[in-house]
Every structure is written in C-alpha cells, then in structure tokens.
Amino acid sequence: MLNIHPSETAPLVTLTNAGVRRNGRWLVRGVEFSINRGEIVTLIGPNGSGKSTTAKTAIGVLKPDEGQVSRLAGLKVGYVPQKLSIDWTLPLTVERLMTLTGSLSRTEIDTALHSTGIAHLARAEVQHLSGGEFQRALLARAIARKPDLLVLDEPVQGVDFSGEIALYDLIKQIRNRTGCGILLISHDLHVVMAETDIVVCLNGHVCCRGTPQDVSRSPEYRKLFGDRAAQTLAVYSHHHDHTHLPDGRVQHADGTVTEHCHPDDGHHHHTEGEEVDAHSHEPDCGCGHHSRLSGYEHKESGRV
C-alpha cells in the first residue's frame, strides 16, 4: 500500500466564495479555486479586476470579508509582488536583494541564483539589470526558501517576447523540479503559459475558468509563433458580455446597468453551485458571459 501523507495530496490553498470589500465596494467577490502541489493556476482579467487582491487573499496578506480561505498548515509561500518598494537611488546588489527580508545561507543564495540562471549577476547592481534579469532575481529570492506555493504577480512584466518564453520555461522547470504549486497572475487576457492547469478569469468575480487550449499541437500556431513559443504559450480564448464601469457598476450587453455582477442581479441563468464545463464550447459560465476555449483561430482573425 502506498504510504502518502494527507498533506501531500490536500490542496495547498482553497478559496470558497471569497470576497474582499473596501470602502463600501466589493473589490472581488465569489472567488472559488484551489491550488494543488505541482499545479499551475493562472489568474487573468483586466486592470483593476481583482487579481492581486485575490492572490493576496489566497496567501493571507488580506483577510476575506466573506467566504473562506483555507491553507495547508505550515504552508510556505514565495511571493513575487507586482511592485517592490525599493529606493532605486541606493546601491543594492542582487545578493543583498535576496536577503532584504530574511537571512539566507551562502549555499541557499548560490543555489537559487544558479537555478534561475543569474549566478554571474550575484554582485551586480539591481538597478542595472534588464527586465528579464530583474524578474529572475525576484524569482531567485522567492524560491530560495523552498516554498510549497509560489505566487508570481505578473512575472513577465517589462520583458520582451523571447524573454517571456524563457521566463515561462524557467517557471515550468521550477515547478517540475520542486513540485511546488504556482499561482500566476498574467496581465495578458489571452496568452497564458501552456502548462497552466486552470485559468481563472476575474472581473470583480470569476467570469469564467477552464484549461487553456493547448495550441502547441496546432501546426498553424507553430507557424505563427514558432516551435519554442508553441511549447510554452497557449491561447485562452473567451469573451465577456458585460463591462465593469469605473464607478464599480456593471453595464450588460443589453445596455442595462446594475450595481454589481452577481447571481442576484437578474442577469444570470444558472443555479448556485452549478459547475461550468470549461471544455465544452459556449458554456454558460454563470455570470452572463460566455467563455469559449477555441484556440488559435481567434488570434489569427485578430479578435483576441
């Protein structure tokens, strides 16, 4: 009989109907997903849709105002935030960046820098790094303490297309080598890491979710983006039929405006708890949206 400890199989984090409210406004609401060991979950959504808020709620930086968040006891999290408050006028080397918030042994620093491919930059000034090198330094800092869960808030920001592919390759290697779970936030609404197990699209709530279609098998995609890109990136294709207005209200496809976008706003057709089949075409995602995982033809036709 296999002797598997329950903590090896239990989800690292589970959000159940989680919501965060500030100044009388729900920043996100009704968020549901789990992350298991070795799994990559990607959050996508427009600016201000609650991705960072959701990630911070998942790791306990923010407390949910409704719903539940459960984390495995003793969960170690490596977090790469979207923004760092660093005084860029002060000299700061990569190895000092690694130990700003806690000490690490020489071996831990060297191993982390080596595994992110920047061992040669240990004594380089952070302000002189390229976008891709800086993201690797942040990744090295996050993995040095061997986290169970790695949370990466827009890890490819400021990085060009080939750098993006290289970084996603690196994230995949880290996952494969360490078996950690990864929560990835992407600013790109349509192109995600091909290895992503579940994409969760937020817009103040979960709009739709599913697996990214693995377009890497499509010869047309390979022709468009090249073999290397095809192994690394996949298209998550979907559309929303409502817009979140700057004041927090929601304008629906029929022109009506509601205070929020939730099951009781009269624009929903599903019953609570209904599962969305992300693999089927045109599923009703439960929020008056349609998600469609139809792959590269949208990209090609310019509708992405």
Ligand X SMILES: Nc1ncnc2c1ncn2[C@@H]1O[C@H](COP(=O)(O)OP(=O)(O)OP(=O)(O)O)[C@@H](O)[C@H]1O
> Where do contacts with ligand X occur on this chain (CB under 6 A)?
22-23, 27, 45, 47-53, 82, 187
With respect to ligand X, which residue has the nearer C-beta, 116 or 135?
135
Strands of the 13-22 sheet, one edge to the other: 25-35, 13-22, 66-71
- Cβ at position 228, least distance to ligand X in Å: 27
With respect to ligand X, which residue has the nearer C-beta, 187 or 268?
187
With respect to ligand X, which residue has the nearer C-beta, 24 or 102?
24
- Cβ at position 25, least distance to ligand X in Å: 7
- Cβ at position 59, least distance to ligand X in Å: 13
- Cβ at position 208, least distance to ligand X in Å: 15
- Cβ at position 41, least distance to ligand X in Å: 15
- Cβ at position 47, least distance to ligand X in Å: 3
Asked if 122 and 95 touch (Cβ cutoff 8 Å), the reply is yes
With respect to ligand X, which residue has the nearer C-beta, 27 or 261?
27
With respect to ligand X, which residue has the nearer C-beta, 55 or 230?
55
Quickly tell me which residue has 């459960």 as its tokens: 70
- Cβ at position 274, least distance to ligand X in Å: 25
CA distance 193 to 293: 15
CB atoms inside a 10 Å sphere around CB 52: 21
| Of 145, 144, 141, 147, the residue nearest 155 (C-alpha) | 141
| Of 66, 7, 24, the residue nearest 247 (C-alpha) | 24
With respect to ligand X, which residue has the nearer C-beta, 244 or 299?
244
With respect to ligand X, which residue has the nearer C-beta, 5 or 83?
83
